[in-house]
Amino acid sequence: MSSSNTLNDRSLLVAASEQVSCDIGSQMAILNLKSGIYYGLDAVGCRLWDLVQSPTPLSEIEGALLAEYDVEPSRLRPEIRDLCQTLARAGLIEIRDETRD
């Protein structure tokens, strides 16, 4: 398996090792230990963060969030993918392509 920045339904997402996070009520604060920059997530972002604590396929993350929140798939999927790309660029999650060795 290798790291990638391209998302597809089978991409595995996992929290990066060089970060720490803290639940603050309905929000999440995440510190990138390399850059020293803090990031914040709202309630939906917090749930996504919970799901990426172990390697999880993007399709499972989207399925869980669709089951838990009253939102149209056509709205949720692009927003989740944008958030995942943002978290990856910030060094907070890794996107792994499970189709490669």
Per the domain annotation, does 6 fall within a domain? yes
C-alpha distances in Å from residue 51, one per residue of 9, 59, 83: 15, 12, 13
**pLDDT at residue 7 above 50?**
yes
Per the domain annotation, does 31 fall within a domain? no
Mean pLDDT across the chain, nearest whole number? 91
At residue 66, the pLDDT reads 95
pLDDT in tens, 32-42: 999 999 999 99
- The confidence band for 100, taking pLDDT boundaries of 50, 70 and 90, is very low
Per the domain annotation, does 37 fall within a domain? no
How far apart CA 52 and CA 8 sit, in angstroms, is 15
Per the domain annotation, does 74 fall within a domain? yes
Per the domain annotation, does 57 fall within a domain? yes
Is 49 within 8 Å of 41 (Cβ atoms)? yes
- Any idea what DSSP says for residue 15? E
- Residue 78: give the domain boundaries: 2-17+44-97
Per the domain annotation, does 22 fall within a domain? no
Count structural domains, the chain.
Answer: 1
Per the domain annotation, does 34 fall within a domain? no
